[in-house]
Amino acid sequence: MQGSTIEESKLNLNYHKEAEAHHGHPDHRMFGIFVFLLSDSMTFLGFFAALLIYRSIMPAWPPEGTPELELFIPILNTIILVSSSFVMHRGQTAIKNNDVAGLRLWFGITAVMGAAFLMGQGYEYFHAEFGLTTNLFTSCFFALTGFHGLHVTVGLLLILSVLWRSRDANHYSSSNHFGVEAAEIYWHFVDVIWVILFVLVYLL
Amino acid sequence: MNIPSNIVTLIAGIVLTLISLWYGQNHGLLPIAASNEATQVDELFNLMMTIATGLFLLIEGVLVYILIKFRRREGDTTDGPSIEGNVPLEIVWTAIPAVIVFILSIYSFEVYNAMGGLDPMAAHDMGPKKLAHSHQSELIAFNSENQQLALGLGASPESNQGANPLIINVNGIQYAWVFTYPDTGIVSGELHIPVDRPVQLNISAGDVLHAFWLPEFRIKQDAIPGREVQLTFTPTRIGQYPVICAELCGAYHGGMKTQLYVQTAAEYEQWVQQNTIADGETNQSIAFNSQSTEPDLLAPYAEKIGLEANSLALLHHSHH
Amino acid sequence: MSTSAADTATSQINGHGVEHQPRKWQDYFTFNTDHKVIGIQYLVTAFFFYFVGGALAEVMRTELATPDPDFIQPEFYNQTMTMHGSIMLFLWIIPAGAAFANYLIPLMIGAEDMAFPRLNAVAFWMQPVGGVLLLSSFFVGAPQAGWTSYPPLSLVASKWGEELWIMTILILGTSSILGAINFLTTILTMRIPDMDIHSMPLFCWSMLATSALVLLGTPVLAAALILLSFDLIAGTAFFNPTGGGDPIVYQHMFWFYSHPAVYIMVLPFFGAISEILPVHARKPIFGYRAIAYSSLAIAFLGLIVWAHHMFTSGTPGWLRMFFMATTMIIAVPTGIKVFSWCATLWGGKLNLNSALLFGMGFISSFLIGGLSGVMIASVPFDIHVHDTYFIVAHFHYVLFGGAVLGLFGAVYHWFPKMTGRMVNETWGRIHFILTFIGLNMTFLPMHQLGLQGMNRRVALYDPQFQFLNQVCTVGSYILAVSTIPFVINVVWSLYKGEKAGRNPWRALTLEWQTSSPPIIENFEEEPVLWAGPYDYGIDTESIDGDESVEDMLAEVGAEAP
Ligand code: HEA
Ligand code: HEA
Ligand code: CUA
Ligand SMILES: [Cu+2]
């Protein structure tokens, strides 16, 4: 139930703003998205908790003999992902001014950045000196980054679908751009999770 | 809501209390208690039983009374009185359970502490170690700083259990218990202990989870592969008691049973003598012949279960 | 299908001038987005799995009539036991709660449908998929590590059955989450304007709490199962000590969900009981706010007690103490409910029909399970009875005596609304009496068995326990028989039952203001909130209470055809 107060106020905003658009039906989708993300964050919480428990009970963490993690690409990836959130936000600002071209531009850049992140991760996977089953740490590494990568992929698909729909210049407007907002909120969520993950897996 | 505050209620209350008090002591549901700790657990249970009986009679009594008293009369289609709440009453029935569970928590804490559950040094969890199936050198070194985690039951702070306990290593495998006496090198399928001397069991498992349960001693502890857990108790009653595996460990989980013999010091010495004479190689065979003291239970399945020599050898290896 | 949205639009525009076409039976077999259709779909599917799960229970009880594994092989016993537990929890009681939530929430708050009708239908259709997947595991060797699936056993016994089990639970868990998103959004945002949160029926409150638990708990189970699946298929060792992992971590993650899950299973029926009792006792619910907020309290506490399932496992002593204390505190909010229900009945004018009988049966048997629950919350005592039949007795009293009796009460109570027909009360009472006797006969002796030393999940046991086990077995046969009058009653009433009218119980919550069964968009016109949900007998002092209720109802229903 935590956080429901924030969501409620969000909802009320949407309630009034988009009430006209849907035949008198208030729009609950934003509320639903928040509830979903709350739930999804619990999945990550589960993974993180497992990781932290292993850390605290194992004599050495990462277990002795684990190859050093290469930090260059992950750091680059972090920079890309974090800045992509800002880039993406410009897209939303654009559509709020009815600037569809701006939306397409900024979302396009975000998509490229997202793809770059995934490619970076792919590179990291293929050049890792360890495998999924090398030891507990490497298993955790692949499970966590992999599950996050899956989320990035979904986020990327959302962005691409916004781009696809925005081919029709009238699809999104300053008063009607739920898809844009949803994709963006999801992307920020994935971003925040990455920062936590990065600290827990790479830095600690 | 008028609470009938007359003689009848008073009498009902007294009767209810008396029945609860009586039943709490005389339910006869528990098996024999064979240690001091078991007696304490029983007293705790008796108290809980008393409270539960009281609450049970109270609420079921109210329900039965309602069932008889407040039935709708034939042809009456009116509503009942519109009572929507009663704050003092609600406070009472919030406060009473709160007090009850407070008392129960404190009391349980006391009993648990007396059983040695909070003894941090004796019962430390050293975290999981890697199971060595072939080479002992694969064991990850213990993290020696990590000893604040208590697992299992240690020495009771009230008694001098800490003094000179008989140490026995217990290993659970599908589907048998293996007891190793490090002092004498005896390996046995049954547990023999002298009466009135503290026993410290170091429990672990060789394959999956098991749980070491002594119903007459009211103690149980999971045997966890890769961890060693301690269970300390002092038997006070001579006799033969079942040792049961209480954690699902496979198809023949139900057959994973053996016996605990609490013996006089002399009898115990004799048993030790008998088993150490046949030193070296033979003591394994002795151990597992004794499985046959439970003929009707496991014998028919022995083949399927496959208590084979190599799995035993393996156990012997990983357990030092 | 998506016609629903279009319909919505029309009925909005035309007001009450639209023709309402009735539901066709085919609709129930399609991807339909009407919450009422979905509710019925959930309910019927759940009942199907109840019979499967019950049949498996009868197999187990038959085996347990004798100490030796002579009826079925021990391995098959474990598979039966695992499937029984998993089916009963994930395919019977949780979906049955969702069934009522789907059917009732929009009606109770005066909405036309759920917030996300299509999502709702998706959530439903995951149920049969999951169910079929789980049942199909019988062909590859069903899982046999218990419904808890503790590794390392779950990693070594029936690999593919176990994997199917994991897939099933992941699917059903996702379904639950999607459902919960819907319930939460609908309840919080779609009430008719006059209904503030404190004049909302208590069932909605309990679904708020339930949904919160689903949303916070289920994802953690999913995480655990994903890791377990890795161990099983990819050879990692998260939970496998042989590779350096730790099985205890799985237990923590599993119970972080599965303890709250027991409240996910029972809270909807707490809510249902709070609806049933006032109507048939003709009295307002006693302590509305206390009951409403105690649901939230239970949900909150439910999130911080999970390790009470691990008192004899790898849980350090001081943690055991913490979890003991938090667990025991749950008795307080639950007690508030139990006492309030009794006070609701007290002094009422009880119409002892099947719904109320099941409601009262619910209180009396849930009480037993609750009392034993507090006992096993006590660490020293739980160390003795953990993983014995005492625990089996505890959870059947809360699950069967609690949730299932509540569910039957709800079925009898809302049957007229769902079908437009009354049930046969005589058959209903017979059903109740048989169930009540069977329930106590099956599960009461299990307490003693556990205390005396009979461990659970065994196919072979010590001969000294044979007598009590046979009592249980006979009891379980009575339970099997008890379902016969129920099935007959439902089928017969569906076709031949007396016509119900819109409000046969003269109840005040909104679902009774529309026709039975309700029309496709629920209400002919926006329903009026003219009374609190439980304002029974409000005017008894001034004028004849009954008159006024009837008057008001007539007024509300005036424009109805
Ligand atoms: C609907 C499901 C449901 C419900 C509601 C509950 C309710 C409770 N359960 Fe239960 N439980 C299960 C389902 C449920 N349980 C299942 C399925 C398992 C086994 C899982 C497995 O291992 O397979 C289990 C196991 C289980 C254990 C672990 C036992 C073990 O394995 O060793 C414990 C231990 O603390 C426990 C405690 C409780 C408590 C304290 C409550 C409380 O919520 C009860 C509160 C209610 C009351 C107390 C009654 C009413 C109150 C009053 C009248 C007030 C006055 C009362 C007092 C002051 C005592 N339960
Ligand atoms: C809501 C949950 C729920 C319900 C309703 C039940 C209902 C029943 N349970 Fe269940 N049970 C569990 C949840 C539930 N159980 C769980 C979670 C476990 C733990 C599993 C584990 O350890 O992993 C368990 C374990 C369990 C055990 C312990 C197994 C063991 O530890 O070895 C036993 C033993 O007697 C048992 C018996 C019964 C019986 C007799 C019923 C009866 O009430 C059933 C009555 C219903 C019927 C009899 C159906 C009637 C219909 C027919 C018989 C006709 C069949 C027809 C067709 C197929 C068309 N159950
Ligand atoms: Cu070993 Cu059960
Ligand atoms: Cu629990």
Handedness of CA C546, C552, C554, C560 (dihedral sign): negative
DSSP string for residues in B195-225: TTS-EEEEEEESSS-EEEEEGGGTEEEEE-B
pLDDT (tens digit, 9 = 90+) per residue, C317-340?
888 899 999 999 999 999 999 999
Residue pair C483/C427 in contact (Cβ under 8 Å)? The answer is no
Q: How confident is the model at residue C15 (pLDDT cuts 50, 70, 90)?
A: very low
What string of DSSP letters covers A88-157?
HHHHHHHHHTT-HHHHHHHHHHHHHHHHHHHHHHHHHHHH-SS-TTS-HHHHHHHHHHHHHHHHHHHHHH
Asked if A63 has any chain B CB less than 8 Å from its own CB, the reply is yes
In 3D space, the residue among C524, C522, C528 whose CA is nearest the CA of residue C113 turns out to be C522
Residues of A with CB below 8 A from C260's CB? none
Query: Given a cut of 80, is residue C494 above it in pLDDT?
Result: yes
Q: Chain B partners of A59 at a C-beta cutoff of 8 Å? A: 127, 140-143, 146
CA distance C51 to A138: 45
Q: In the prediction, which pLDDT does B120 show?
A: 52
Which two tokens mark C70? 């002579």
Element (H, E) at B241: strand B239-245
Where are chain C's structural domains? 31-518
Nearest CA in chain A to B145: A59
Task: Give the residue with greater pLDDT, C296 vs B143.
Answer: C296
Pocket probe mutation, ligand 1, options C221, C258, C262, max atoms within 8 Å of Cβ: C262
pLDDT at C152 over 60: yes
Return the structure tokens found at C430. Answer: 């017979």
Mean pLDDT, rounded, for B15-33: 91
Query: What is the reported pLDDT for B132?
Result: 42
Task: Compare C223 and B312 and report the one with higher pLDDT.
Answer: C223
The CA distance from C51 to C88, in Å, is: 9
Mutate to test the interface with B, among C277, C332, C372, C447 (most CBs of B within 10 A): C332
Higher-pLDDT residue of C509 and B156 is: C509
* DSSP one-letter string for B299-318: GGGHHHHT--HHHHHHHHHH
Q: The whole model's pTM is what?
A: 0.89
In whole angstroms, give the CA distance from residue C360 to residue C354. 10
pLDDT at A12: 41
Q: List beta partners, residue B222.
A: B211
Ligand 2 centroid to Cα of residue B211, in Å, is 24
Confidence bin at B299 (pLDDT 50/70/90): very low
Q: What are C250-265's pLDDT values in tens digits?
A: 999 999 999 999 999 9
Quote the pLDDT of residue B158: 59
pLDDT at site B159: 59
Are the C-beta atoms of C78 and C56 separated by less than 8 Å? Answer: no
User: Do residues B147 and B121 make contact, with C-beta atoms less than 8 angstroms apart?
Assistant: yes
C421 - beta bridge partners? Answer: C499
Contacts of B273 (CB under 8 A, 6+ apart): none
* C402: amino acid identity, one letter: G
| Cβ contact, residue pair C234, A132, below 8 Å | yes
Interface contact B143-A63, CB threshold 8 A: no
Nearest residue in C to B107, CA atom: C378
Atom of ligand 1 nearest to the CA of C258: 20
CA C176–ligand 4 middle distance (angstroms): 19
Under an 8 A CB cutoff, do B150 and C288 touch? no
CB C306 within 8 A of CB C323: yes
Is the peptide bond prior to A62 cis by the omega test (within 30 degrees of 0)? yes
Looking only at the bridges linking them, the beta strands covering B176-181 and B199-205 are unpaired
Check CB contact of B52 with chain C, cutoff 8 Å: yes
Q: What was the pLDDT predicted at B316?
A: 42
Chain C contacts in chain B segment 85-114 (CB below 8 A): 85-86, 89-90, 93-94, 97-98, 100-101, 104-105, 108-109, 111-112
pLDDT at B95 over 90: yes
CA distances from residue B311 to B175, B178, B207, B304, B314 in whole angstroms, order as listed: 11, 11, 10, 14, 5
- The pLDDT of residue A20: 37
pLDDT at B19 over 60: yes
Residue C405 CA to ligand 2 center (angstroms) comes to 14
What pLDDT band is residue C9 in, cutting at 50, 70 and 90? very low
* Nearest protein CA to atom 1 of ligand 3, as residue: B210
- pLDDT of res. B231: 87
- Whether ligand 3 lies within 6 angstroms of the CB of B223 is answered as no
CB contact under 8 A, B127 and A57: yes
Residues of C within 8 A of A49 (CB-CB) are 220, 252-253
List the single best residue of C454, C455, C465 to mutate versus B (max B Cβ within 10 A).
Answer: C455
Asked if residue C377 has pLDDT above 50, the reply is yes
The pLDDT of residue A65 is 78
- pLDDT tens by residue, C348-372: 888 899 999 999 999 999 999 999 9
The tokens of C257 are what? 């969900």
The residue whose CA is least distant from atom 52 of ligand 1 is C335
Cross-chain CB nearest to B101 (options C245, C374, C386): C374
B181/B258 Cα distance (integer angstroms): 16
Residue B44 has pLDDT above 80, yes or no: yes
Computed on alpha carbons and rounded to an integer, the radius of gyration of chain A in Å comes to: 19
Domains and CATH numbers, chain A: 28-203 (1.20.120.80)
Nearest CA in chain B to A61: B143
For residue A192, give how far its alpha carbon lies from the nearest alpha carbon of chain C (Å): 18
Q: Which of B218, B222, B252 sits opposite C313 (nearest CB)?
A: B222
Separation in Å, CA of A161 to nearest CA in chain C: 19
Concatenated DSSP letters of A12-24: HHHHHHSTGGGTT
Please check the confidence at residue C485 and state whether its pLDDT lies above 80.
Answer: yes
On the question of a cis peptide bond just before residue C278, with omega within 30 degrees of 0, the verdict is no
Tell me whether residues A58 and B127 touch, CB distance under 8 A. yes
Give start and end residues of each alpha helix (H) in chain B. 7-26, 36-69, 87-114, 265-277, 282-289, 295-298, 302-305, 309-318
pLDDT at res. C551: 56
Give residue A160's pLDDT: 94
Per-residue pLDDT tens digits for C79-88: 999 999 999 9
Q: Is C56 in the pocket of ligand 2 (CB under 6 A)?
A: no
CATH superfamily label, C31-518: Cytochrome c oxidase-like, subunit I domain (1.20.210.10)
How high does pLDDT run on average in chain B? 77
Q: What torsion do the CA atoms of C241, C247, C250, C252 make, to the nearest 10 degrees?
A: -140
Q: What is the pLDDT along chain A (204 residues), one digit of tens a residue?
A: 333 344 444 444 343 333 333 444 567 888 999 999 999 999 999 999 999 988 888 877 888 778 888 888 899 999 999 999 999 999 988 988 888 889 999 999 999 999 999 999 999 998 888 888 888 888 999 999 999 999 999 999 999 999 998 888 888 888 888 889 999 999 999 999 999 999 998 887
For a pLDDT cut of 90, what percent of chain C falls above it?
70
Q: C184 vs A35: CB contact, 8 Å cut-off?
A: yes
CA distance C152 to C422: 52
CA distances from C116 to A15, A31, C23, C106, C179 (A): 15, 11, 20, 12, 9
Count of CB contacts below 8 A, A vs C? 121
How do residues B246-274 score in pLDDT, each as one tens digit?
999 999 999 999 999 999 999 999 999 88
Condensed to tens digits (0 to 9), the pLDDT of residues B155-193 reads 666 555 456 788 999 999 988 999 999 888 888 899 999
Residues with CB under 6 A from ligand 1: B 55, 59, 97, 100-101; C 148, 262, 265-266, 308-309, 327, 330-331, 334-335, 338, 367, 370-371, 373-374, 376-377, 382, 386, 391, 394-395, 398-399, 402-403
Which residues in chain C have their CB less than 8 angstroms from residue A3's CB?
A: none
Contact at CB, C451 and B52, closer than 8 angstroms: no
Q: What is the pLDDT of residue C23?
A: 76
Q: Which residue in chain B is spatially nearest to A65 when comparing CA positions?
A: B140
Q: How confident is the prediction for chain C on average, in pLDDT? A: 88
Residues C115 and C178: beta-carbon distance below 8 Å? no
Q: Give the model's confidence band at C304: pLDDT under 50 very low, under 70 low, under 90 confident, else very high.
A: very high
Which of C74, C287, C451 shows the shortest C-beta gap to B30?
A: C451
Query: In the CATH scheme, what architecture does the domain B162-282 have?
Result: Sandwich (2.60)
